[in-house]
């Protein structure tokens, strides 16, 4: 029996004349931390959006835990245990950090009726506080999310992706704009999560130091197609990748 | 509920209980009208202020509610049935009006709802057999509860006050429940909300349906309050008036629509002594308020408070919202 969490088959997506993603296929195994790298505009974010229901791919098929998710709405996919972050900051600015994180979990609690007639925090305050502690955001708990610094908002954003206990998390440039200490912290958090919960990750990132040290396997996209795949060491020494992306 | 909020609410209710005592019938009528519009504005505050869905059709829901209640009470049914039917019907019609909002947003949505308001107006005017056309309907009885007649103005006021308090409580409950959080999430970042499992379609439709049902509930009060309704009372201009209440009071704040309705309904009465100038003074005050505090009276209040106790603000230098 294989433990494939995410299976991507022949995904293509064009915008007018631009072939953003060309016939991409790969599998992600349970517990794996997969890095997705490539130059700007190589189609990484578009691929995420095709996988997660924000965009409809032109061709191809996506399976999560052996279930096809074609045409599934993002909310339904999230309920299947798939969390994500966006490349752009995506917190709810006029809600407190705590409220943001409760929101991220509440739709997985009870039914529409219990979410109307039950407790206003959907019984999630304790769990949200734990998540806040895990991401070391305690001092910001009751601040308005939109008033935090960029890096702090990034952490809240990441914390939200984990709130519902997903089995698969796709992160789009989690390290962008985050300072070194915070970055080390974030890497720590992701590793700890992976270890403690067996959560599978796919991470898009331009920070090579971050990707190479975090990921167990790396896929390189260029102009919408996969040009290389391997361990961090293999990727670092791959001539094609150096030419297309890593430079001299 | 935080203690301070509860105390504030209780003081408010006490003031409302004492307010009409010893007042002339006309003043009590104005107060009833304010409470009635507050309920309608609460509904729009939910749809627009909390869920971020523009609607220029709230007056049409008051109209639908008022006509349904009028027809039923004129046919001899007790007002309670009219009220329930009005809320039920406006809930369903509001739900249907929500469908365009799944496709269009902002000013396009404003136009869709504006068109809806116009259609309702035309139906009310042209279906003479049922609605009485431009002459409207007259003589709706005021209800009686357990032998207590609401025909005397003061009694009617307390009847409206009870409905107002119930509506305010329901509204408070909804916006503080996880639904309320989902509404806000829809307003602030729908793509992110969807990716976190919020069924944004369902939440959008509910925002319209619930907001409209509050409008229908207000209409059910209007029928016995005014005892005369005609299509003109529910024309577009009245939807704009309710929008003004929500915006002037403070969209997205619990007390916003009540304050806003007070400004729109009661303030003109105070300005009456200025004779012909009152509309000009009134318009001027609204413009000054909107320039100084786009988040309305509540925003103005918290701006003043912030002088003493600095508050956080959402930063303007960071683009918000997930974009694909
Ligand atoms: N909505 C869209 N409409 C038109 N073109 C688009 C759209 N989204 C993406 N593209 C194009 O698709 C290509 C891939 O974009 P994508 O955002 O996936 O790149 P990326 O690999 O995530 O880049 P970066 O590292 O800069 O984030 C780009 O050429 C972009 O212009
Ligand atoms: Mg990208």
Residue B170 confidence (pLDDT) above 90: yes
Mean pLDDT of the B248-275 span: 88
Which of B183, B184, B192, B199 should be substituted to probe chain A, the one whose Cβ sees the most A Cβ atoms within 10 Å?
Answer: B192
**pLDDT band, very low/low/confident/very high, at A1 (cuts 50, 70, 90):** very low
Which of B177, B188, B313 minimises the CB distance to A120?
Answer: B177
Facing B188 at nearest CB: one of A92, A102, A122:
A92
Q: What angle do CA B180, B185, B191 make, to 5 degrees?
A: 145
Judged against a pLDDT cut of 80, whether residue B261 lies above it is answered with yes
What pLDDT does residue B319 have?
54
Distance A173 CA to ligand 2 centre (A): 7
pLDDT in tens, B14-23: 999 999 999 9
Q: Whose CA is nearest to atom 30 of ligand 1?
A: A41
CB-CB neighbors (< 8 A) of B310 in chain A: none
Residue A31 placed within a domain? yes
Chain A residues in contact with B181 by the CB 8 A cut-off are 95, 99, 102-103, 106
Q: Do A146 and B320 touch (CB under 8 A)?
A: yes
Span B315-324, pLDDT tens digits? 766 655 555 5
Alpha-carbon distance of B66 to B74, in angstroms, equals: 12
Closest CA to B223 of B104, B34, B66, B111: B66
A101 has a pLDDT exceeding 90 = yes
Q: Provide the pLDDT for residue B36.
A: 98
Nearest CA in chain B to A114: B178
CB of B318 within 8 Å of a chain A CB? The answer is yes
- Specify the residue with its C-alpha closest to ligand 1, atom 6: A15
Query: Which of ligand 1's atoms lies nearest the C-alpha of A173?
Result: 27
- Token pair of B288 as six digits: 């000054």
User: Cα(A42) to centroid of ligand 2, in Å?
Assistant: 8
Whether residue A219 is contained in a domain is answered as: yes
Mean pLDDT of A54-70: 92
According to the 3-state scheme, what is the secondary structure of chain B?
Answer: CCHHHHHHHHHHHHHHHHCCCCCCHHHHHHHHHHHHHHHHHHHHHHHHHHCCCCCCCHHHHHHHHHHHHHHHHHCCCCHHHHHHHHHHHHHHHHHHHHHHHCCCCHHHHHHHHHHHHHHHHHHHHHCHHHHCHHHCEECCCCCEECCEECCCHHHHHHHHHHHHHHHHHHHHHHHHCHHHHHHHHHHHCHHHHHHCCCCHHHHHHHHHHHHHHHHHHHHHHHHHHHCEECHHHHCHHHHHHHHHHHHHHCCCCCCHHHHHHHHHHHHHHHHHHHHHHHHHHHHHHHHHHHHHCCCHHHHHHHHHHHHHCCCCCCCCCCCCCCCC
Mean pLDDT of A100-123: 94
pTM of the model as a whole: 0.93
Q: Can you give the pLDDT at residue B34?
A: 97
Residue A93 lies in a domain: no
Asked if A147 lies within 8 A of B185 by C-beta distance, the reply is no
Is residue A133, in this structure, part of any structural domain at all? Answer: no
Contacts with B, A 92-111, CB within 8 Å: 92-95, 99, 102-104, 106-109
The partner residues of A35 in beta bridges, in order of sequence, read: A203, A218
In the numeric block, the tokens 């260029």 are attached to A222
Instruction: Give the pLDDT mean for B179-204.
Output: 96
Per-residue pLDDT, B318 = 66
What mean pLDDT value characterizes chain A?
92
Separation of first and last alpha carbons in chain B: 38
Based on C-alpha coordinates, what's the Rg of chain A? 18
Q: How far is the CA of A88 from the centre of ligand 2 (A)?
A: 9
Confidence of residue A41 (pLDDT cuts 50, 70, 90): very high
Residues 6+ apart with CB under 8 A from B154: B20, B21, B28
The answer to whether residue B155 scores a pLDDT higher than 80 is yes
Residues of B in contact with A93 (CB under 8 A): 188, 314-315, 320
**For residues A13 and A169, is the Cβ–Cβ distance under 8 A?**
no
Alpha-carbon distance of B89 to B95, in angstroms, equals: 10
Residue A119 lies in a domain: no
Contact A9, A25 (CB under 8 A): yes
Contacts across the A-B interface (CB distance below 8 Å): 124
A147/B313 CB distance under 8 A: yes
Domain boundaries along the sequence of chain B:
26-292
Rounded mean pLDDT of A93-103?
Answer: 96
> Averaged over B286-302, what is the pLDDT?
86
> A176, A157 in Cβ contact below 8 A?
no
Nearest CA in chain B to A110: B178
Q: Are B206 and A112 in contact (CB under 8 A)?
A: no
Strand partners for B137: B229
Compute the residue count for chain B: 324
Burial of residue A171, with CB atoms counted within 10 A of its CB: 0-12 exposed, 13-18 middle, 19 or more buried: buried
- Which ligand 1 atom is at minimum distance from the Cα of A46? 18
**Chain A residues with CB-CB distance to B185 below 8 A:** 92, 95, 103
Residue range A179-185: mean pLDDT, rounded: 87
Start-end of H helices in chain A: 44-51, 74-79, 97-106, 112-117, 125-134, 150-162, 180-197, 208-214, 232-236, 239-241
Using a pLDDT cut of 70, give the percent of chain A over it. 99
pLDDT at residue number B206: 97
Q: Which residue has the tokens 């207590």?
A: B148
pLDDT at A179: 85
Helix, strand or coil, per DSSP, at residue A60: strand
Report the interhelical angle of B236-249 vs B296-308 (nearest 10°): 10
Contact A53, B196 (CB under 8 A): no
Structure tokens at A141: 């708990």
- By three-state DSSP, how is residue A113 classified? helix
Q: Which ligand is nearest to the CA of A86?
A: 2
Model confidence at A7, pLDDT cuts 50, 70, 90, reads very high
- Across the strands, what pairs with A15? A18
DSSP state of A96: B
Overall average pLDDT of the B178-201 stretch: 96
For atom 25 of ligand 1, the residue with the nearest CA is A40
Identify the three-state secondary structure at position A144.
Answer: strand
Identify the CATH assignment for B26-292 out of 1.10.10, 1.20.1300, 3.20.20, 1.10.3470.
1.10.3470
Ligand 1, atom nearest to A38 Cα: 21
Within a 13 Å sphere around the CA of B76, how many CA atoms are in the beta-carbon half? Answer: 0
Percentage of chain B with pLDDT > 70?
96
Chain B contacts in chain A segment 136-165 (CB below 8 A): 143-144, 146-147, 150, 153, 160, 163-164
Considering A146-155, B203-212, B242-251, B296-305, the range whose residues carry the highest mean pLDDT is B203-212
The closest CB to that of A122, out of B178, B320, B321, belongs to B178
- CATH code where residue A38 lies: 3.40.50.300
- Note whether B192 contacts A106, CB cutoff 8 Å: no
Residues with CB under 6 A from ligand 1: A 15, 18, 20, 38, 40-46, 87; B 324
Inside any domain, residue A101: no
Give the SS3 label for residue A139: helix
Among A171-185, B45-59, B134-148, B157-171, the least confident range: A171-185
On the CB side of A33, CA atoms within 13 Å amount to 18
pLDDT band for position B312 (cuts 50, 70, 90) = low
Task: State the average pLDDT over residues A188-205.
Answer: 93
Gap between the Cα atoms of B120 and B106, Å rounded: 21
Segment A182-211 shows an average pLDDT of 92
Q: pLDDT-derived band of residue B283, with 50, 70 and 90 as boundaries?
A: confident
Q: Please report whether residue A106 resides in a domain.
A: no
CA A60, A65, A70, A74 dihedral sign is negative
Work out the average pLDDT over A175-194.
88
Q: Is residue A161 part of a domain?
A: no
Q: Residue A87 C-alpha to ligand 1 middle, in angstroms? A: 11
Minimum Cα–Cα distance from B319: chain A residue: A89
Q: How many domains does chain A have?
A: 1
**Is the CB of A88 inside 8 Å of chain B's CB atoms?**
yes
Q: Domain span at residue A19?
A: 4-81+166-246
Give residue A243's pLDDT band: very low, low, confident or very high (50, 70, 90): confident
ipTM reported for the complex, 2 dp:
0.93
Per this entry, what is the length of chain A? 248
Contact call for B195 and A75, based on CB within 8 A? yes
Alpha-carbon span B269 to A210, nearest angstrom? 67
From the CA of A43, give the closest atom in ligand 1. Answer: 18
Structure tokens, B268: 């003109």
Report how far residue A51's alpha carbon sits from residue A84's, in angstroms, rounded to the nearest whole number.
Answer: 11
Q: Which of B289, B281, B223 lies closest to B250 in space, CA to CA? A: B289
């Amino acid at each position: 029996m294989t433990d494939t969490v995410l299976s991507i088959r022949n995904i293509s997506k064009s915008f007018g004349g631009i072939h953003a993603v060309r016939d991409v296929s790969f599998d992600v195994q349970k517990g794996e931390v997969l890095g997705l790298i490539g130059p700007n505009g190589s189609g990484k974010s578009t691929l995420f959006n095709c996988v997660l229901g924000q965009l409809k791919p032109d061709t191809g098929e996506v399976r999560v835990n052996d279930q096809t998710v074609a045409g599934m709405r993002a909310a339904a996919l999230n309920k299947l245990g798939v969390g994500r972050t966006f490349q752009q900051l995506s917190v709810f600015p006029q809600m407190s950090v705590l409220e943001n994180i409760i929101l991220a979990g509440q739709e997985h609690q009870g039914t529409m009726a219990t979410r109307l007639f039950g407790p206003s925090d959907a019984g999630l305050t304790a769990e949200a506080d734990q998540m806040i502690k895990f991401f070391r955001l305690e001092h910001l708990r009751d601040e308005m999310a939109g008033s935090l610094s960029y890096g702090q908002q990034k952490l809240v954003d990441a914390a939200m992706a984990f709130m519902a206990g997903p089995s698969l998390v796709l992160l789009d440039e989690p390290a962008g704009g985050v300072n070194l200490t915070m970055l080390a912290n974030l890497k720590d958090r992701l590793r700890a999560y992976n270890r403690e919960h067996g959560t599978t990750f796919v991470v898009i990132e331009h920070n090579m130091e971050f990707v190479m040290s975090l990921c167990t396997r790396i896929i390189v996209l260029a102009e919408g197609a996969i040009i290389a795949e391997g361990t961090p060491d293999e990727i670092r020494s791959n001539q094609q990748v150096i030419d297309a992306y890593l430079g001299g | 509920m935080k203690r301070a909020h509860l105390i504030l609410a209780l003081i408010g209710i006490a003031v409302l209980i004492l307010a009409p005592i010893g007042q002339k019938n006309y003043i009590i009528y104005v107060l009833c009208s304010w409470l009635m519009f507050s309920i309608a504005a609460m509904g729009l505050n939910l749809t627009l202020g909390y869920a971020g869905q523009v609607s220029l059709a709230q007056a049409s829901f008051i109209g639908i509610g008022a006509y349904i209640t009028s027809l039923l009470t004129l046919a001899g049914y007790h007002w309670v049935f009219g009220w329930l039917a009005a809320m039920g019907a406006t809930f369903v019609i509001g739900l249907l009006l929500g469908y365009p909002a799944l496709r269009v947003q902002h000013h396009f949505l404003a136009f869709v709802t504006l068109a809806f308001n116009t259609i309702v107006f035309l139906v009310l005017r042209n279906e003479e057999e049922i609605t009485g056309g431009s002459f409207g309907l007259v003589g709706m009885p005021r209800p009686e509860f357990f032998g207590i007649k609401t025909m005397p103005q003061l009694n009617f006021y307390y009847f409206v006050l009870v409905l107002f308090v119930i509506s305010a409580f329901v509204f408070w409950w909804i916006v503080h429940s996880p639904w309320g959080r989902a509404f806000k999430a829809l307003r602030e970042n729908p793509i992110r909300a969807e990716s976190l499992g919020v069924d944004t379609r369902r939440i959008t439709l509910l925002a319209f349906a619930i907001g409209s049902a509050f409008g229908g509930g207000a209409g059910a009060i209007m029928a016995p309050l005014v005892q005369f309704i005609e299509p003109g009372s529910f024309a577009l201009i009245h939807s704009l008036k309710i929008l003004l209440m929500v915006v002037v009071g403070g969209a997205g704040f619990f007390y916003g629509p009540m304050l806003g309705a007070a400004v729109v309904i009661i303030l003109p009465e105070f300005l009456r002594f200025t004779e012909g100038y009152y509309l000009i003074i009134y318009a001027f005050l609204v413009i000054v308020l909107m320039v100084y505090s786009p988040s309305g009276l509540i925003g103005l209040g918290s701006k003043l408070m912030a002088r003493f106790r600095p508050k956080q603000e959402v930063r303007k230098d960071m683009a918000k919202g997930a974009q694909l």
